[in-house]
Amino acid sequence: MRRLPPVAITAMVFVVGFALCTVQFPNFASTRVAANLLTDNAFLGIVAAGMTFVIISGGIDLSVGSVIGFTTVFVALAIERLGLPPLVAFAAILLLCAAFGAAMGAVIHVFDMPPFIVTLAGMFLARGASFLMSTESTPISAPLYSTVSDFAVRPPGGGRLTAIALIMLAVVAAGAVLLHFTRFGANVYALGGSRTTTALMGIPVGSMTVRIYMLSSVLAGLAGIVFSFYTAAGYSLSAVGVELDSIAAVVIGGTLLTGGQGSVVGTLLGVLIQGLIQTYINFDGTLSSWWTKIVTGILLFAFIALQQAMLGIARRAGPRKAGVHKS
């Protein structure tokens, strides 16, 4: 009598949603729509994968949206103003992001500060820094950018699986392996269960915290690079509020906001559900795109209520499985 895991519910919501859209718009079920769904949400999928680790470990990272914005501006200026080769610019920004994440993780651990506050500070810092560099949108015209945007795997049916969609899928796959099949992943869950207990069990909690926020910031940087491919520009106001979208995706994906449970694949589904709503609105043509936010909000409520209910049930049933002694 096993209960349905939350991620199965998310998958069902996605499938039902997709089916409903198909009923209303017969040409919805095509590889084109599916591929666009992945491309349009590639950057969100990447940050949300990182956010999944942070939330499972019992933390939160509010800085990711600003880090994406910062990254796009940094990359655009490095390539266009300084004339750096794009790959060098990418390496530089990823290192910078790693240092930024590590610093946030270290502050959280060493000063025992709430992640909410520390990453909120990080959010203002990164956004402020990107305004300092440039306040206007800088188009990027490096040849690499057009090569990448021309590249696509073409499944039958007119879809274009773009490079950035592939990067996102690769990140999600790697994230899932890291989370479920490595010691690092087990430690992430452990931290979300209880920090003190994890420390007493001999896990280096400090270095884990540093590495988790580092991972989140690096993935935010990667998402920023992907975002710059997507828009072919760097703009300090890009990706405002993305931290909240990605938190929503993580929660809709079945990860407990209090930590200790969740999955990267669920998060991908959470991202795709948000994308699905947006696509529906585009197909409809008359609805305001703010409906995405409203429906996402309703879904969030529903999922959090569901999790609370399931936790409540689990608590009522209690840890009542006695061990079986066979003597």
Partner 1 sequence: MNAISDPGPALLEVRGLSKSFGTLRALQEVDFTLRAGEIHALLGENGAGKSTLIKAVTGVFPRDAGIVRLGGVEVAPRSAKAAVDAGIATVYQEVNLLLNLSVAQNLYLGRQPTRFGLVREAEMRRCAAALLAEFDLHIDVAEPLGNYSVAVQHITAIARAVDQSAQVLILDEPTASLDRHEVEILFAVMRKLAQRGIGVIFVTHFLDQVYEICDRITVLRNGRLIGERTTAELPRIELIRMMLGRELAETTSERTAAHARQVGEICARFEDYGKAGYVAPFNLALRRGEVVGLAGLLGSGRTETARLVFGAERADSGSATVDGKPVRLQSPRDAVAHGFGYCPEERKTEGIIADLTVRENIVLALQAKRGLAKPLSRSEQEGIAMRFIGLLDIRPPEPERPIGLLSGGNQQKVLLARWLATAPRLLVLDEPTRGIDVGAHAEIIRLIRDLCDDGLALLVISSELDEIVTYSDRVVVLRDRAHVDELEGDAIDISNILAAIAVAGSAGAEAGQP
CB nearer to partner 1: pick between 1 and 87:
1
Q: Are 72 and 226 in contact (CB under 8 A)?
A: no
Considering only residues 1, 288, 290, 326, which one is a binding residue for partner 1 as defined by CB under 8 A? 326
Q: Which lies closer to partner 1 via its Cβ, residue 169 or residue 178?
A: 178
Among 233, 321, 248, 232, CA closest to 10: 248
Number of residues that bind partner 1 (CB under 8 A): 34
Tell the burial category of 288 from Cβ atoms under 10 Å away from its Cβ (0-12, 13-18, 19+). Answer: exposed
Query: Smaller CB distance to partner 1: residue 285 or 321?
Result: 321
Binding mask 183-202 for partner 1 (x = CB under 8 A): x--xx-xx-xxx-xxxxxxx
Q: CA torsion, points 24, 25, 31, 35, in degrees to nearest 10?
A: -90
- State the Cα–Cα distance between residues 239 and 68, nearest whole angstrom: 6
In the complex with partner 1, the residue whose CB is nearer, 190 or 226, is 190
Q: Are 63 and 220 a contacting pair, CB within 8 Å?
A: yes
Is 261 a residue that touches partner 1 (CB under 8 A)? yes
Asked if residues 198 and 205 have their Cβ atoms less than 8 Å apart, the reply is: yes
149: how many CB neighbours lie within 10 A of its CB? 14
Site for partner 1 in 194-253 (CB under 8 A): 194, 196-204
Is residue 5 a contact point for partner 1 (CB under 8 A)? no
C-beta of 3 vs 154, nearer to partner 1: 3
Is there binding between residue 318 and partner 1 (CB under 8 A)? yes
Residue 251 Cβ vs partner 1, minimum distance, rounded to whole Å: 17
Q: Does 161 bind partner 1 (CB under 8 A)?
A: no
Token digits of residue 273: 């559900």
Find the shortest distance in angstroms from Cβ 320 to partner 1: 7
Rounded to 5°, the CA angle 26-28-33 comes to 160
Q: Judge whether 74 and 197 are in contact, CB under 8 Å.
A: no
162 forms beta bridges with 152
Shortest reach from residue 205's CB to partner 1, in Å: 9
Minimal distance in Å, beta carbon 263 to partner 1?
Answer: 13
CB closer to partner 1, 215 vs 242: 215
Query: Interface with partner 1 by CB under 8 A: which residues?
Result: 177, 181-183, 186-187, 189-190, 192-194, 196-204, 260-261, 314, 316, 318-327
